[in-house]
Amino acid sequence: MHKHIKFFNEVDLSDIPEVGGKNASLGEMYQHLAPKGINLPNGFATTSSSYYYFIEQAGIKDRIQRVLDGLDIHDVKDLKRRGAKIRGIIMKAKLPADFEAEIAEGYKNLSEQCGKKNVVVAVRSSATAEDLPNASFAGQQETYLNISGQKNVLLKAKECISSLFTDRAIVYREENGFDHMKVALSVGIQQMVAVRSEAAGVMFTVDTETGFENAVVITSIYGIGENIVQGRVSPDEFTVFKPTLAILKKRVGSKKEKMVPVSGSKTKNIKVSLKDQQRFSITDDQVTTLAKWGLEIEKHYGRHMDIEWALDEDDGKLYIVQARGETVQSNKDHSVIEEYKLKEGGQILTQGKSVGSKIGVGKVNKIMGTEDMSKFKEGDVLVTEMTDPDWVPIMKMASAIVTDKGGRTCHAAIVSRELGIPCVVGTGNGSEVIKAGQKVTVDCSGGDDGVVYAGALSFDINRTSVKDLKRPKTKMMMNIGSPDHAFTYAQIPNDGVGLAREEFIIDSHIKIHPLALLHFDQVKDPIARQQIEELTAGYKSKAQYFIDKLAEGISIIGAAFYPNDVIIRFSDFKTNEYANLIGGQQFEPKEENPMLGWRGASRYYSKEYREAFALECMAMRKVRDTMGIANVKAMVPFCRNLDEAHKVLDIMKKTGLERGKNGFQVYMMVEIPSNVLLAEQFAQLFDGFSIGSNDLTQLTLGVDRDNHTVAHVYDENNEAVKALIRSVIKVAKKTKTKVGICGQAPSDYPEFARFLVEAGIDSISLAPDTVIKTTIDIAKTEARL
């Protein structure tokens, strides 16, 4: 019977006081999740009582306490001096002989179990006051990788114990109100799966930026996973949809170097070839396996999880090497919606991945090494190459953080999220292009991309409580543009998406005219040819690029609002807008009035464009049939007559998008007076109507809404427009056809929204920033009616 160590099969979560949060979690998974097919490496942990035994036997307890007396954690220089002194005291002290003997015996037993003479291990710290439900600042104590041989294991175990007094661990305990002498350290000695790791990474079972709960976010790099946390490498990133395990999006990271083991129980970084940098480090099947495991772990713990994994180069198997509770989104008050909005533009200095959704302003303080930390002041913007756990004391003082390296799961990102500070990681050149002392604005409010602007720009913060928001009978839906904001907007109480425009996805994510992709050999413009080659690199075909990127955009919006209806409108660019896409000039006619020209349904069945429309249909099919996101419905815009409706539905059917098959529904935009006048006949062909008040007003009043000289005539509140809307709602009720509105009017005019409710509309789709106030107003209107 061991007194000082416990193997993982002997510990579970009830043993946190004895082996710390990290080791207790490893034991919990080893006992309960390994039998379910999740690969976990074995190991053992030293006990907290043995830690106390050591400092008592060595007679160093009082000496440590004396060094801590009078500590001021805000004096960075003094903190460093005291921390180093305590670590020195521990390293000079001798481990009790029986404690040392049990570690040596445990290592020998583990080696035998693994069929090795001296198994390679990771030696990890696990404090009894870490990974708390409300705080988990990354990497307070040390981890040592690629350790083998009894002598090295004993040395690193002692170094782990001394790391209970790293500067950041001391600060953490002070701030969380822990007595330094009542927190113990357990050393975890775990078979190192990734001795020569092919790939490794981090997985969160919640979207770390938005708190969207239906996503698993996985990051991956080559080699040992330490480089992700350290932020040395920008990783590949995958987002998986929990209900169907579909990969919603994936991004290739630069992965310029990888950490590998070398002799002498050490590691080093080597360069990754350009070919390997440009490919994904793990396969789609491996991503899916990790996501499945993530869901199992989340289900077992009953909370969102932060998980580390590795892919072993020797046996080709994936392993889970660590798991702890996610603390940022899990502790956020989701009943208050906070929205940051930049009020002005400015000169862009650099861009990277955004962490969080806030905006920060301040004076740049460039800190390129720990020796400069004492120069950092409260409210400065920290600009650096990358951070590590020693930087936490100054990160807490920053108004924003900008790094050259790293991805969304690097140390800077994890701690920024924890602190609620806007952070832009992986800029590549931030520390070069941003000058020390200059004022900057760090903007993370724009979705995936974070931007650093020169100067202090003004911004608004809107906070709205949705705790007791009364839901009206009328469905309150949303108009969504870019998929980048979908996870954020889905947090606003809603009944789905009444309008998502494909043209936003095409313009911002695809960028290329579909006919230029289908007929690349005919593209004459050399600059366009080069841009197309660069954007489509790595895709099976140029047409597949369009299908995959459009499907990605649609699926993200569909997943964000799942299982509520999400109505995706097929592209409704005008010819002048299509011409602005890469390669577009060559394939688009010049029109005097594009607003009334070749757009919507007329385009889809034309011989010039129908093959491009087929790509849109294939993307829709991929989302519904392959990815399983079946809450997505299609909508046909600007359908001038019944003949056009028949032709478009026929083309859709030929691509496998058949109305009624697998529950597939097709809506029609009601935006032309002919749609209203022939509403009963159109109702036989479509499952729902969505009133486009913008175009309906334009065509009812004969006003080009792009022409400023007659802009004063344009008015959605005009009685003629309202009469047409009343009429189509009446027909929809008679024919049992769903009817909603997706035009701008109810977002802009509360009285227009009230008119729609009085007319009996089923749903109102609004700009995201008006959903809450209109919901409150509509609930009052319904109560009055």
Active site residues: 411, 742
C-alpha 621/C-alpha 653 separation (Å) is 11
C-alpha 624/C-alpha 632 separation (Å) is 7
Dihedrals phi, psi of 190, to nearest 5 degrees: -125, 135
Burial class (CB in 10 A: 0-12, 13-18, 19+), 275: exposed
> What DSSP designation does 624 have?
I
CB atoms within 10 A of CB 77: 9
Residues 6+ apart with CB under 8 A from 666: 633, 634, 635, 636, 649, 652, 659, 686, 687
Strands 43-46, 185-191: pairing kind: antiparallel
Residue type at 427?
Answer: T
Residue type at 782?
Answer: E
Which residues lie across from 565 on neighbouring strands? none
Q: Strand order in 143-147's β-sheet?
A: 5-7, 43-46, 185-191, 121-127, 143-147
Which residues lie across from 633 on neighbouring strands? 567
Residue type at 115?
Answer: G
Q: Which of 516, 502, 493, 484 is nearest to 567 (CA)?
A: 502
Diameter over CA atoms, the chain: 94
Burial class (CB in 10 A: 0-12, 13-18, 19+), 752: buried
**Collapsed DSSP state (helix, strand, coil) of residue 329:** helix
C-alpha 307/C-alpha 309 separation (Å) is 7
C-alpha 582/C-alpha 531 separation (Å) is 8
Which residues lie across from 294 on neighbouring strands? none
Sign, Cα dihedral of 392, 394, 397, 401: negative
Residues 6+ apart with CB under 8 A from 371: none
CB atoms within 10 A of CB 52: 14
**Collapsed DSSP state (helix, strand, coil) of residue 354:** strand
Q: Which of 697, 690, 706 is nearest to 673 (CA)?
A: 697
Strands 449-454, 381-384: pairing kind: unpaired
C-alpha 226/C-alpha 219 separation (Å) is 12
Is the bond preceding residue 563 a cis peptide, omega within 30 degrees? yes
| DSSP character string of 746-768 | HHH-HHHHHHHHHHT-SEEEE-G
- Tally of CA atoms within 13 A in the half-sphere of 67 that contains its CB: 21
> What DSSP designation does 410 have?
S
Residues 6+ apart with CB under 8 A from 80: 167, 370
> Any long-range contacts for 607-612 (C-beta under 8 Å, 24+ apart)?
609/515, 610/651, 611/515, 611/518, 612/514, 612/515, 612/518
Assess contact for 236 and 255: CB atoms under 8 A. yes
Residues 6+ apart with CB under 8 A from 105: none
C-alpha 187/C-alpha 51 separation (Å) is 9
